[in-house]
Amino acid sequence: MKPFAIAVHGGAGTIARAEMTPAREKSYREALEEAVRRGQDVLQRGGHALDAVETAVRVLEDSPHFNAGRGSVFNADGQHEMDASIMEGTSLRAGAVACVHNVKNPVSLARLVMEKSPHVLLSGMGAFEFAHRHKVMLEDDQYFFDQFRYEQWQRTRGTDTYQLDHSDEDRKYGTVGAVALDQQGGLAAATSTGGMTNKQFQRIGDSPLIGAGTYANNRTCAVSCTGHGESFIRAVAAHEVHARMAHGGLPLVEAVRQVVHEVLPPLEGDGGMIAVDTNGHVVLDFNCTGMYRGYAMGGGAVESAIFR
Ligand code: ASP
């Protein structure tokens, strides 16, 4: 059997170990492991990396634990605006959506943009109209309402501050993503988020930007990022990992280390990323206290972790 691998993340940030009860940790890790397992099943049956990452991200979007899909945070206007993207490394096709609302699984809408439109990125009402046309599953506002998220927003409401979801003490953690290598040697990456609490109306982060929050190229690797989006955009973080491998000849682990620990910190780029290369090596690295993450190599055991 050829190598295959999948990794997922559920956000990174200043996660307070003292506030993480065993029960809470268990439920987060179960959700992460379920996402890995569902993606691993796709790969084990010989399925494509693109299907594996979409499947894994949908599991996390449907969980209220994470800041994506159902669990998305509130923006400054008290709305949920979601960003998502997906890319496959064989043909470098990509699709993304920004500032969408009421869409149950933004990652699948991003995939439709890739497959059913001549464009890469659709935003706002244009993306919503496209979702309608393609009969994408929608949910009413109540589906996205969460008391914790609401209280989290009340603490920043009316101020100019916005915050990384996972750096808030209410412990409702972050953006989700997945990367995979399939048995045909194909790589894919996907990322989905509700963004940052109290973000300005129609603010767009790194998650839907190909090269910043998401990138996949069969020459090198697939990458999905999480963290302070503005910094990841300025660092073109996901593509930077690819570039250091393609042009500098670095192995994946070193390329990720340089971007996470050397390139991002001077830009106040708190966060992390997950990545997989063409040999199925998985790297999950971050420059803050924790990152919700999980992975499986081949048909092996599903692993998950939060802290270092
Ligand atoms: N990167 C996301 C954004 O800036 C936030 C996150 O990863 O939690 O929208």
Q: List Cα–Cα distances, 290 to 11, 151, 220, in angstroms.
A: 9, 23, 26
Around Cβ 307, how many Cβ atoms within 10 Å? 11
Residue 150 confidence (pLDDT): 78
Residues involved in catalysis: 175
Q: Is 272 in the pocket of ligand 1 (CB under 6 A)?
A: no
Q: Which DSSP symbol is given to 249?
A: -
Residue range 197-221, pLDDT digits in tens: 778 889 999 999 999 999 999 999 9
Residue 74 has pLDDT above 90, yes or no: no
Beta bridge partners of 274: 224, 284
Q: Both tokens of residue 145? A: 């309402």
Residue 47 confidence (pLDDT): 98
Residue 274 has pLDDT above 60, yes or no: yes
Mean pLDDT (the chain) is 92
Q: Is 94 in the pocket of ligand 1 (CB under 6 A)?
A: no
Q: Both tokens of residue 13? A: 């940030």
Residue 31 has pLDDT above 80, yes or no: yes
Task: For residue 80, give the CATH number of its domain.
Answer: 3.60.20.30
Residue 208 confidence (pLDDT): 98
Give the mutation target among 175, 204, 292, 293 for probing the ligand 1 site: most ligand atoms within 8 A of CB. Answer: 175
Closest listed residue to residue 261, CA positions, set 277, 272, 249, 250: 272
Q: Which DSSP symbol is given to 65?
A: T
Report which residue type is found at 17. Answer: R
**Using CA positions, which residue lies closest to atom 7 of ligand 1?**
226
Give the mutation target among 171, 207, 225 for probing the ligand 1 site: most ligand atoms within 8 A of CB. Answer: 207
pLDDT band at 44 (very low <50, low <70, confident <90, very high): very high
pLDDT band at 308 (very low <50, low <70, confident <90, very high): confident
Residue 275 confidence (pLDDT): 99
Residues in the chain: 308
Residue 80 confidence (pLDDT): 85
Residue 169 has pLDDT above 50, yes or no: no
Angle at 17 between CA 57 and CA 285, to 5 degrees: 50
Owning domain of residue 205: 5-307
Percent of the chain with pLDDT over 90: 76
- Rounded CA-CA distance 256/34 in Å is 25
Residue range 81-113, pLDDT digits in tens: 899 999 999 999 999 999 999 999 999 999 999
Residue written as tokens 């955009």? 233
Q: Is 238 in the pocket of ligand 1 (CB under 6 A)?
A: no
Residue 76 has pLDDT above 80, yes or no: no
Q: Is 229 in the pocket of ligand 1 (CB under 6 A)?
A: yes
Residue 129 has pLDDT above 60, yes or no: yes
| 1 or 274: which leads in pLDDT | 274
11 close to 176: Cβ distance less than 8 angstroms: yes
What pTM, to 2 d.p., does this model score? 0.93
Residue 133 confidence (pLDDT): 96
Least confident of 96-105, 170-179, 264-273: 170-179
Residue 167 confidence (pLDDT): 56
Residue 144 confidence (pLDDT): 84
Q: How many domains does the chain have?
A: 1
Residue 165 has pLDDT above 70, yes or no: no
Residue 159 confidence (pLDDT): 74
Mean local confidence (pLDDT), 30-58: 98
Output the CA 38–ligand 1 centroid distance in Å.
24
Mean local confidence (pLDDT), 137-146: 85
Q: Is 196 in the pocket of ligand 1 (CB under 6 A)?
A: yes
